[in-house]
Chain A
Amino acid sequence: MKVKKKKHLPLLFGVLLAGMILYALILGYMLFWGVTSSFKGRLEFADNILGLPRAWVFENYYYALRNFVSPVGMRNVYLDEMLLYSLLYAGGCAFVSTACCCMMGYATSKFKYKLNTVIYGFVLIAMILPLVGSLPSQIVVFRTLNLYDTMIGMWVAKFNFISVYFMVFHAIFKGLPVSYSEAAKIDGAGNWRIFLSIMLPLVKVTFVTVFLLFFVSYWNDYSTPLLMMKSYPTIALGLYYFRFRQTPDTSPRPVQLAGAIMVFIPILLLFIAFRKKLMGNISLGGLKE
């Protein structure tokens, strides 16, 4: 029996709706103000903070683009090269992280070894155990292994399964019926074949979602490249330098805003294009006991 649809919104929803509208308004207005102010002339900004620009200055974006550099040794790295490094870093690390979680998730769910419980328990503990201040030690270890300041070093560092997504994959693989792999075995397929050709396609959606989530977080991560990979600056690191290494051309606030907007617009467009995949359904089904 279908429950009748309520004709009016419950009070709770009304309040929440108001809250979310307020949030959207604040966010939207902040972005709108940021965009319009980025077109203001340097001298105009101090006098005309609130309004629309009286004279639209497009040179701000030119200055932002021209000075969006990261210093690597004695040379400057520009936006195009930074884009390449961002793609390598975000894409590579995301792939490596997702693959690791996926591999471990599969291994621990499909095979009956006692080590699995150890691994699962270990991940749980490691995730909640607060080990603070291991960054300096990490840097020291990287230096010893000659992985410091290399892209490969970053990939190795992110080849890690201590994350919530391991549990996600574990839960998903566990939920897959055994009949698929058994049928394949009867047909003579080896384990690797089963994993790559049958299991992976079955979890494709989750794989892509997790990959995208990792990708976004690595794309926006400037703190790791700042500490460990200064020679291959990503766009996020470029933004950091743009803010904190100002030249006379980029010091005016409108130019700073222009630089920020210039990087933001493509990301926003990509997000809108991929939003369904990004905000897909992920749940820690396996944790329900």
Chain B
Amino acid sequence: MKRIKNIEKCDFFYKLKRKLKDGIYTLEVALHNKLKRKRKNTASIERENKLNLLFYISLVTLPLLQVVVFYFYVNFNSFFLAFQEYNPVTLRYDWALWKNFDNIWFFVSREKTLLYCFRNSALSYVVTLFISLPLALLFSQYIYKKGPAGGFFKTVLFIPSIIPEMIMTTMFLYFADSFIPATVKGIFGKEIAGLLTQGNTTMLITLLCYSVFISFGGNIIMYSSTMSGIDKSLVEAAQLDGATQMQEFWHITIPMIYPTLSTFITVGVAGIFTHQLSLFSLFGADGNAYNEVWTIGYFLYSRTVYAGSANYPELAAYGLLMTIIAVPLVFTVRYLLSKFGPKTD
């Protein structure tokens, strides 16, 4: 009885939970049945079922094994690593319980670096959410509606995703540091510092603009493809009713691609902790002159690159702390999206 009520809630999150519970329960039943003597089926159907099962197992074993080792084991190991320390004599990891967290606390209590990291990472996500995303959606709408030269712009917007990050950042670095000051000097006669030379607000804004600039690429492809799957009759009905482009965008397009959209937004939350604002491509691991524009992703990655076995436990501890912060954040965002999102009706 309870289950039928839940079906009516179109809430994706609840559906998922139910599916999982269902799946696990029926799996248990199936296992239980298999262990008991089976009723005799006709020989051929039984054989076919066996063959199907064998085929299925042959398909899924290796990937599942890979997931068990490289996802479950790696993450469990990461969890445990956070509570260990490296012994340079035995070359093994010993248990050290709180030592890593103690070091982290010492670091955090003295310096504002991590505060800046959080601020910048959050700022980057906000910019992505309120600038990149709407722009990407609008551009996708344009392309989906086959606005003039839509195909050409689709290619142009996609180019930065194709170019290796290093190349794009090399050109951007010299562009921002040499070209822009020279242009400003030429036009306004004023001498300004290169945009990426001082770790200040100018640099942060420049980096954020750059991250918006290169973000379009794959997103646009995904959105415009999903948009092209929208039922044409809805669109025609809206146009007959005299809806403007903006209204059509807001009331039809967005709700129809909402599941895809909300998936991307949710996945993007995890990205807060890994996004580097291209800092590593711009400055490598020596970004020390620009503490105030660091992000969490850059902080962790630059430390990992030159880390030795002795440093891994502390990095794993950082990772654990970040995860503890991130997980509720993701589920909160997911909840908010499903609660306040448009319903397909």
- B312 to chain A: which residues have CB within 8 Å? 136-137, 139-140
A33-B171, A114-B27 known, 18 other contacts, Cβ within 8 Å: A16-B142, A20-B142, A27-B156, A50-B182, A114-B22, A118-B24, A118-B27, A132-B274, A132-B300, A137-B75, A220-B165, A239-B170, A243-B170, A253-B178, A257-B170, A257-B171, A287-B259, A288-B259
The contact of B157 among A9, A20, A271, A288, by CB within 8 Å, is A20
With an 8 A cutoff between CB atoms, is B101 at the interface? no
Report Cα–Cα, A284/B15, bound state, in Å: 18
| B228 with A281: CB separation less than 8 A | yes
Q: Give the top 7 A-B pairs by smallest Cβ distance, nearest first.
A: A133-B319, A130-B270, A137-B78, A136-B312, A117-B23, A191-B55, A130-B326
- B166 to chain A: which residues have CB within 8 Å? 222, 236, 239-240, 242-243, 260
Which residues 256-272 in B have Cβ within 8 Å of A in the complex? 259-260, 263, 266-267, 269-270, 272
A-B CB pair tally, cutoff 8 Å: 306
| B167 with A264: CB separation less than 8 A | yes
Given the interface contacts A12-B246, A49-B182, A50-B186, does A283 sit within 8 Å of B326 by beta carbon? no
- B311 to chain A: which residues have CB within 8 Å? 136
| Chain B interface residue number, banded | 35 or more
Name B80's closest neighbour in chain A (CB-CB): A137
Q: Which of the listed residues A116, A162, A195, A220 has the most CB atoms from chain B within 10 Å of its own CB? A: A220
Write the B18-51 contact mask toward A (1 if CB under 8 angstroms, else 0).
Answer: 0110111011001000000000000000000001
Report Cα–Cα, A287/B26, bound state, in Å: 23
The contact of B69 among A33, A127, A141, by CB within 8 Å, is A141
With an 8 A cutoff between CB atoms, is A203 at the interface? no
Report Cα–Cα, A162/B70, bound state, in Å: 11
Write the A260-289 contact mask toward B (1 if CB under 8 angstroms, else 0).
Answer: 110110011001100100110111110111
With an 8 A cutoff between CB atoms, is B284 at the interface? yes
With an 8 A cutoff between CB atoms, is A83 at the interface? no
With an 8 A cutoff between CB atoms, is A156 at the interface? yes
Given the interface contacts A19-B135, A160-B67, does A30 sit within 8 Å of B175 by beta carbon? yes
With an 8 A cutoff between CB atoms, is A89 at the interface? no
Q: Is the interface of B mostly helix, strand, loop or mixed?
A: helix
- B280 to chain A: which residues have CB within 8 Å? 223
- B165 to chain A: which residues have CB within 8 Å? 220, 222, 236
- A260 to chain B: which residues have CB within 8 Å? 166-167, 170-171
With an 8 A cutoff between CB atoms, is A226 at the interface? yes
| A20 with B179: CB separation less than 8 A | no
Name B309's closest neighbour in chain A (CB-CB): A140
Report Cα–Cα, A37/B178, bound state, in Å: 11
- B329 to chain A: which residues have CB within 8 Å? 130
Write the B317-332 contact mask toward A (1 if CB under 8 angstroms, else 0).
Answer: 0111011001101100
Given the interface contacts A115-B23, A137-B316, does A129 sit within 8 Å of B330 by beta carbon? yes
Give the size of the chain A interface in residues (CB under 8 angstroms): 104
Residues of A in contact with B (beta carbons under 8 Å apart): 3, 9-13, 16-17, 19-20, 23-24, 26-27, 30-31, 33-34, 37, 45, 49-50, 100, 103-104, 106-107, 111, 113-121, 124, 126-141, 145, 156-157, 159-162, 164, 190-192, 195, 213, 216, 219-220, 222-223, 226-227, 235-236, 239-240, 242-244, 253, 256-257, 259-261, 263-264, 267-268, 271-272, 275, 278-279, 281-285, 287-289
8 chain-A/chain-B pairs, Cβ below 8 angstroms: A107-B56, A118-B23, A119-B60, A128-B263, A130-B269, A136-B78, A272-B155, A287-B260
Report Cα–Cα, A127/B145, bound state, in Å: 31
| A3 with B139: CB separation less than 8 A | no
Write the B284-323 contact mask toward A (1 if CB under 8 angstroms, else 0).
Answer: 1000000000001000110011010101110110111011
Name B268's closest neighbour in chain A (CB-CB): A128
- A117 to chain B: which residues have CB within 8 Å? 19-20, 22-23
- A128 to chain B: which residues have CB within 8 Å? 263, 266-267, 269-270, 330, 334
- B66 to chain A: which residues have CB within 8 Å? 100, 156, 159-160
With an 8 A cutoff between CB atoms, is B205 at the interface? no
Given the interface contacts A115-B27, A190-B51, A253-B178, does A137 sit within 8 Å of B74 by beta carbon? yes
| B157 with A114: CB separation less than 8 A | no
| A127 with B267: CB separation less than 8 A | yes
- B19 to chain A: which residues have CB within 8 Å? 117, 120-121
- B135 to chain A: which residues have CB within 8 Å? 19
- A116 to chain B: which residues have CB within 8 Å? 23
Segment with Cβ contacts to A, from B111-119, B196-204, B218-226: B218-226
Within the complex, the shortest CB–CB distance from A171 to chain B, in Å, comes to 11
| B159 with A271: CB separation less than 8 A | yes
Report Cα–Cα, A263/B5, bound state, in Å: 59
| B147 with A17: CB separation less than 8 A | yes
| A17 with B52: CB separation less than 8 A | no
Given the interface contacts A50-B182, A136-B81, does A12 sit within 8 Å of B269 by beta carbon? no
With an 8 A cutoff between CB atoms, is B148 at the interface? yes
Report Cα–Cα, A242/B157, bound state, in Å: 27
- B129 to chain A: which residues have CB within 8 Å? none
- B309 to chain A: which residues have CB within 8 Å? 140
Within the complex, the shortest CB–CB distance from B41 to chain A, in Å, comes to 16
Report Cα–Cα, A124/B267, bound state, in Å: 10
| B178 with A49: CB separation less than 8 A | yes
